[in-house]
Structure 1
Amino acid sequence: MSLLTVDLTNCDREPIHILGHIQSHGYLIAIQPDTYSIVHASENIVDLVNTPASQLVGQSVNALLANTDLAENVLVELLNVGKRNDSWETMNPHRFTLNGKVWNLIIHQHQELLLLEWEPTGDDRNAVMNQQLIAQALTEVQASRTLSDLLQNTAQRIKTIIGYDRVMVYRFSADWHGHVVAEAKDDHLEPFLGLHYPASDIPRQARELYKINLVRLIANVDSTPSPILSDPDWSEDQPLDLTHSVLRAVSPVHIEYLKNMGVQASMSISLLYRGELWGLISCHNTTPRFVDFQARQTAKFVSQLLSAALEFRKDEEDKTNLLQYTQIGQRLHEQLLLGDDVARALTKSSVTALDVTEATGAALLFNDKVYRLGETPDESALRSLAVWLGTTDIETFLQTNQLPARYSPAEHFREVGAGILAIALSKELNEYLIWFKPEQVQQVTWAGNPNKPVTVDNDGQQRLTPRKSFDAWTEIVRNTSESWNEAEIGSVVKLREDILQVITKQANEVRLLNQRLQVAYEELDAFSYTVSHDLRTPLSSIRCYSEIIQEEYGQEFNEDARELFQKITESTERMQRLIRHILYYSRMGRTDYSIQPIEMKPLLQNIREELLIANKDRSVRIDIGDTPSITGDPTMIHQVFSNLLSNSAKYTQRAPEAVIQVNGQQTDDEVVYSVVDNGIGFDMKHAGKMFDLFKRLENAREFEGTGVGLAIVKRIINRHQGKIWFHSEPNRGTTFTLSFPVTTH
């Protein structure tokens, strides 16, 4: 059977958080926090307390110390302190002298159980040295060094703290394969710096645990794990979850992997960037080696400093790039407004469309002509590419750094265009602005062949096994360019709005619609209005009749019937809201609007007051900055800001304090307002249909909504000859920016 027919996800499904064993260098019990009764105990606990685990499960925690030199109530008193303080982390580790030996006791609570774990203590003399290393690490992070130096020095510092033979900084790529970007090792070991490891080496569920448990120790791969015994009355369907355990046993597959590498002890420390896994500090030792809790915490603190430095450096880089692209975009906007030739403004002026990204080439297909900047495919290839773009689902933009994988003819021009970022100006007219990045041929050196070998077990089932050879295995990667970053995507989305505004102003009716399509649009618009309007009467009847039935016969209903009638009422309310939105959206095409100066401060204050009342049960702050007046229809402008601020309030529900900022500024030509929140945000790569009717982004589906509000906003902005654009990042909030001309005709 071919390797392709083997289930490559079997490693991803291994339940590594409920393996039912712990590593043998420590001991574990799990107790119920209300009764302190023992429901789970590691079989080796007898070595610690001289009482077999089978005699402990089902007993009070006092039984644990019955055969030791400690008073039975010592542990209960300690647990009572933690319970009163409602904190276990601040107690970890607790020094525990038992039968003449000192242990570290680590306690945590998970899934309504308290887990108590004992492991050996280390040399107290190392504590002073570790404090010095922390101070050095803090100084290192604050110094203006390169990222490469920072990673290398961190690897060396971790090696000093834990005393392992090898410490590597391992960075994940977008497809989750890893790359060793820094290394500190003993001189006799061969270097792993620069090697790549496939994503299957660290399966998905392991990566999720790395985000929860930042430090993971495997003290001896040859030790025999100790099984966990459970109270006979405990349900077999509820195995002990060891997600947060410091002693959790190791997957047999991973043990086999480490042995194949010649590693006897392993330790990993997570590196996070904005809450997601950026990489790992991976530590290997050729002999068994235990690292005590305090040393692991010191290493963890150093890694957290590095994580903070990564985030700070990336944020600064993003701000710099965004500012640069914004300034260039403003210049292009000015050029577009000053002239009547879109192509000339984008390709023949002092600043061109090529300058708005880090691309090496750009092409404008407009008015049946092709304009080329920098290094691009030839005109014939560009026209064919535009035809292909018309067959894709591109609405606003399309980006890829592996174009030949999606469009095979691109292999012929990969030297100049292995990656593209394209914005659609008019799919109907085959008009696009496309940026190109060249192929970056990479020689990737893997630590062994990345394809896992297939073996057949006794049952005849095929399984993937860890590879046994880690000799360098080289692969040439082609057809791939440098990736497009968020700042580049945001800048071209804004540029598209600028271009479309000018195009619409110059020849809206002639370019986009002929008379027949316009009539069809108006008829469809009137039809949707009529249908929506006519739906309101039967819907009101449904609600009215259901309420009458509840009033007349409600006493005779059981609980299920009352719930069903309540759901009918709630469903009709949701349907009525949706119909109101559709009616408003449909009416926008026909309703006359009154143009007049609008004082924005009282309008925004009124919206703020309504939102604060509606969200009185949570912490919401709405800051209103400068409020220059806008020329427009008061009702429509109120609808725009009410929709945007309501969305901000809705999508900040997860934040401890929702912060929404509204600010305006006026230039000679336009008034610009921004609405900024600290909500869930979204990935700009998936925002192409933001203003489409009934379209909602994937991460917004858990929040109630109709998918009509932003479509209404966009339509109102268009009627006012304005523009709206946005910038967002997942879990980093969203900024909507609106511009209105100073005078509207």
Structure 2
Amino acid sequence: MTPSIIDLTNCEREPIHILGHIQSYGYLIAIQPDTYAIVHASDNIVDLTGIEAAQLLGQPISKLLTGTDLPGSTLIEILNVVGRNESWESMNPHRLHLNGKYWNLIIHYYKGLILLEWEPIGNDQNLSINQQLIAQALSEVQSSRTLDELLQNTARRVKSIIGYDRVMVYRFGPDWHGKVVAEEKDDDLEPFLGLHYPATDIPRQARELYKVNLVRMIADAGSVPSRILSKPGWPENQPLDLTHSVLRAVSPVHIEYLKNMGVQASMSISLLYRGELWGLISCHNTSPRFVDFPARQAAKFVSQLLSASLEFRKDKEDQTNLLQYQQTGQQLHEQLLLSDDVVRALTKLPITALHVTGATGAALLFNNKVYRLGATPDENAIRALGDWVGATGTESFLETNQLPNLYPPAETFRAVGAGLLTIVLSRELNEYLFWFKPERIEQVTWAGNPDKPVTVEDDGTRRLSPRKSFAAWTEIVHNTSEPWSEAEISVVVKLREDILQIVTKQANEIRLLNQRLQLAYEELDAFSYTVSHDLRTPLSSIRCYTEILVEEYGADLTPDAQALLQKVIDSTDRMRQLIRHILYYSRMGRSELDTQPIDMRQLLDGIREEIMVTTKDRLLHFDIGETPAIKADPTMALQLFTNLLSNAAKYTQLTTEAVVRIKGVQTDGEVIYSIEDNGIGFDMKQAGKIFDLFKRLENARAFDGSGVGLAIVKRIVNRHQGKIWFHSEPNQGTTFFVSFPVIPAT
């Protein structure tokens, strides 16, 4: 009986980095770094050395070279030099003469083992040709006027280096399906330019490997791979990891895929944008073809030139858009300050909310009224949309370029609103500002039907198999708009703060607030009492008793036991600090403000010195610019800037040269300070709850933190009737902006 369940994830789950085989054109051994003993060897190593793999396992590496014309000491000397300098990748390849023939030796160190891989050497004349082609590629990258021209030139250059029948530039979409955006091919081949390929053609684990191993070659899809043998007694659950191997064998599923396409050799070169996979240079050949290591490195260098150019062009484009949107947002902010009327400032003046993004329509739902600008859904649809956004639990903003897929009623107005960007002004009062982008109907031509066929295995299991037909297959895509850029999201996040600053001055902001504040204060009082009495007392006892154990019995304890007791003491210190932060957070909302002029240079210098004392083991530089005075409570101002500067220092720990820049600017109505770092950054689309208590972003979890600091900062800013907003990009750093009114809160 055939099961009814289809395994939709067989491609996603295939362990392609530990397949246990290598491609047959090369040879591999893995050795332990301390003894140079061979623990893994490819079965075909006998063809290289004349010694069976089984006889080499467990032996020193000198055994492998017995009877060859390469002294064992030469190879060991190479390993010693490379290992001492920790330059495994940079010194590849090593040209060695072995058994009457020259070979390229590629060395990698990974997961406690040294991998040595031998592969043939190509024509020496190609080296100078490749250098010339690289110089030409550099010139083309600099002179290409458009992205399409740059991609096409790169495809042509790579084809001339490796000599394959077809070279394509393949760009990934947000859902990881790909499109061929440039192609250079032999005249007798049908074109693939413009065709789309589904995300399942390159599954997730393959995409992750492309980020680590930038060049991947399959020399002969029809060859029989050579298995990897392990020394007797090697744990079965520790197969050799071939993540960095140049010889790693090919997944059977992918071999089937290549054969279905009529491809006998392939090569893929990764294109990265800010460390993430942007696309691939995908190369196909209809007959087996080996490309030697230097030629592959030349092609890799061309792709890196392209990656750098992509990043430069995209950054320049993003910065231009961000500046334009920010200027419009500043004009809107000035209108809000002058009119003190949210509706008029956003919808009635020359610059409206519609102008701060690339949207074609905007709508304000405020005070139970709907105000529409440009092409939008009707009033009833906007009210229903507000109810839906409120039900999603969105705290600050929501963005999607596929609204009908999230909210089915939107199909009725997808012509004007397939994309939605909204900021929450008040969930309780059902007040929102919406931006809409129209549906972008696409005719997508796939390379064959993207739905993979189902195959029944011998055991009755049904699985998805690679497509056998790659004939053009056209699909009409609905319900999708142009995506929202990070620049657009950044500006509307700032606009939300501007609007809320005005709204807090108006009576309708507090009509439901008093009752809720009273309840919140009662809960905070109970919470403060519990923390201060029920938690701090036993915590102090734990610390005290632990210190007694260390003092009285420390000499009799083993080092491991002493270390464990010290961890208990350290943990109690961290817990006490967290309790202190929570207490401060709970009491801050009711404490009286002691507003006075703050010497910001003195305050910032003091914070900088305190941080530098605790970060002596790394390169960290604080650049403090203009420091106009602010009027604030001194204790709260110290707490606010300590949190922001400490965060900036903390999240630059992975940066070789960390820089934190602080500067202030005074306008007629406010003083604005910016704190900019070059740390890990974050995705603006994931930062909706950044100021919530105990909320931490995913990429920050590797760093120590309680999730309380920014909540304290936000509460201090609110107490001073100020504003706080931010702009960030992954791996590009973060900038927080804090503004204080010139006339402080009383």
The aligned counterpart of 2:182 is 182
Give the Cα separation in 1 of the matches to 2:4 and 2:629.
64
The aligned counterpart of 2:49 is 49
Other structure's SS at 2:44 match: helix
Other structure's SS at 1:450 match: coil
* Mapped contact 1:695–1:707 kept (Cα < 8 A): yes
The aligned counterpart of 2:253 is 253
The aligned counterpart of 1:281 is 281
Identity of matched residues, % = 71
The aligned counterpart of 2:610 is 610
Q: Give 1:72 shift.
A: 4.7
> After superposition, where does 1:577-592 map in structure 2 within 5 Å?
577-592=577-592
Q: Give 1:19 shift.
A: 1.4
> After superposition, where does 1:32-111 map in structure 2 within 5 Å?
32-111=32-111
The aligned counterpart of 1:717 is 717
Q: Give 1:559 shift.
A: 7.3
Q: Give 1:276 shift.
A: 0.9
* Mapped contact 2:339–2:345 kept (Cα < 8 A): yes
The aligned counterpart of 1:660 is 660
Give the Cα separation in 2 of the matches to 1:567 and 1:124.
60
Other structure's SS at 2:726 match: strand
The aligned counterpart of 1:736 is 736
Q: Give 1:7 shift.
A: 2.6
Q: Give 1:87 shift.
A: 2.6
The aligned counterpart of 2:30 is 30
Give the Cα separation in 1 of the matches to 2:630 and 2:484.
36
> After superposition, where does 1:434-473 map in structure 2 within 5 Å?
434-473=434-473
AA at the equivalent of 1:702: A
Q: 1:10 to 1:348 in 2, by over 3 A?
A: same
The aligned counterpart of 1:204 is 204
1:655-714 Cα distance to aligned partner (Å, 9 max, x none)? 223221111111122111001112222211111111112222222223222222111111
Q: Give 1:466 shift.
A: 1.0
Give ranges in structure 2 of 5+ residues lacking alignment. Answer: none
AA at the equivalent of 1:68: T
Per mean C-alpha deviation after superposition, the further-off stretch among 4-13 and 437-446 is 4-13
1:309-358 Cα distance to aligned partner (Å, 9 max, x none)? 01111111111111111100100000001113211111111111001000
Other structure's SS at 1:597 match: strand
Q: Give 1:76 shift.
A: 3.0
AA at the equivalent of 1:452: K
The aligned counterpart of 1:704 is 704
The aligned counterpart of 1:504 is 504
* Mapped contact 1:3–1:454 kept (Cα < 8 A): no
AA at the equivalent of 1:516: Q
1:526-565 Cα distance to aligned partner (Å, 9 max, x none)? 3333333333334334433444455456667777876665
Q: 1:570 to 1:508 in 2, by over 3 A?
A: farther
Give the Cα separation in 2 of the matches to 1:440 and 1:730.
28
* Mapped contact 1:525–1:589 kept (Cα < 8 A): no
> After superposition, where does 1:619-634 map in structure 2 within 5 Å?
619-634=619-634
The aligned counterpart of 2:479 is 479
Q: 1:582 to 1:78 in 2, by over 3 A?
A: closer
Other structure's SS at 1:91 match: coil
Q: Give 1:192 shift.
A: 0.6
* Mapped contact 1:332–1:346 kept (Cα < 8 A): yes
* Mapped contact 1:395–1:689 kept (Cα < 8 A): yes
Provide TM-score, normalisation by structure 2: 0.96
Give the Cα separation in 2 of the matches to 1:354 and 1:2.
57
* Mapped contact 2:69–2:97 kept (Cα < 8 A): no
Give the Cα separation in 1 of the matches to 2:48 and 2:519.
83
AA at the equivalent of 1:112: G
Q: 1:336 to 1:150 in 2, by over 3 A?
A: same
Q: Say if 2:530 is the partner of 1:531.
A: yes
The aligned counterpart of 1:269 is 269
Give the Cα separation in 2 of the matches to 1:468 and 1:60.
48
Q: 1:617 to 1:414 in 2, by over 3 A?
A: same
Q: Say if 2:386 is the partner of 1:386.
A: yes
Per mean C-alpha deviation after superposition, the further-off stretch among 500-509 and 452-461 is 500-509
Per mean C-alpha deviation after superposition, the further-off stretch among 368-377 and 52-61 is 52-61
The aligned counterpart of 2:493 is 493
The aligned counterpart of 1:19 is 19
Give the Cα separation in 2 of the matches to 1:176 and 1:594.
55
Alignment RMSD, CA only?
2.1
* Mapped contact 1:41–1:229 kept (Cα < 8 A): yes
1:221-253 Cα distance to aligned partner (Å, 9 max, x none)? 111111222222433332222111111111111
1:187-232 Cα distance to aligned partner (Å, 9 max, x none)? 1111111111111111111111111111111111111111222222
Q: Give 1:580 shift.
A: 1.3
Other structure's SS at 1:387 match: helix
The aligned counterpart of 1:693 is 693
Give the Cα separation in 2 of the matches to 1:321 and 1:284.
38
* Mapped contact 1:27–1:45 kept (Cα < 8 A): yes
> After superposition, where does 1:359-398 map in structure 2 within 5 Å?
359-398=359-398
Q: 1:320 to 1:611 in 2, by over 3 A?
A: same
Q: 1:89 to 1:564 in 2, by over 3 A?
A: closer
Q: 1:328 to 1:82 in 2, by over 3 A?
A: same
The aligned counterpart of 1:326 is 326
Q: Give 1:102 shift.
A: 2.4
Give the Cα separation in 2 of the matches to 1:552 and 1:63.
57
Per mean C-alpha deviation after superposition, the further-off stretch among 721-730 and 26-35 is 26-35
Per mean C-alpha deviation after superposition, the further-off stretch among 694-703 and 721-730 is 694-703
Q: Give 1:65 shift.
A: 2.8
Give ranges in structure 1 of 5+ residues lacking alignment. Answer: none
Q: Give 1:505 shift.
A: 1.7
Give the Cα separation in 1 of the matches to 2:444 and 2:370.
37
AA at the equivalent of 1:48: L
Q: 1:362 to 1:92 in 2, by over 3 A?
A: same
Give the Cα separation in 1 of the matches to 2:589 and 2:56.
76
AA at the equivalent of 1:492: V
AA at the equivalent of 1:649: A
The aligned counterpart of 2:9 is 9
Q: 1:708 to 1:62 in 2, by over 3 A?
A: closer
Give the Cα separation in 2 of the matches to 1:733 and 1:198.
33
Give the Cα separation in 2 of the matches to 1:29 and 1:550.
50
Q: 1:47 to 1:407 in 2, by over 3 A?
A: same
Other structure's SS at 1:691 match: coil
* Mapped contact 2:198–2:450 kept (Cα < 8 A): yes
> After superposition, where does 1:136-215 map in structure 2 within 5 Å?
136-215=136-215
Give the Cα separation in 1 of the matches to 2:734 and 2:41.
49
Q: Give 1:443 shift.
A: 1.3
AA at the equivalent of 1:462: R
Give the Cα separation in 2 of the matches to 1:621 and 1:100.
56
Give the Cα separation in 1 of the matches to 2:388 and 2:584.
36
The aligned counterpart of 1:521 is 520
Give the Cα separation in 2 of the matches to 1:5 and 1:681.
42
* Mapped contact 2:607–2:642 kept (Cα < 8 A): yes
Give the Cα separation in 1 of the matches to 2:40 and 2:522.
71
Per mean C-alpha deviation after superposition, the further-off stretch among 116-125 and 504-513 is 504-513
Give the Cα separation in 2 of the matches to 1:578 and 1:247.
51
AA at the equivalent of 1:377: P
1:389-415 Cα distance to aligned partner (Å, 9 max, x none)? 111111100111111111111010000
Other structure's SS at 1:714 match: helix
* Mapped contact 1:51–1:67 kept (Cα < 8 A): no
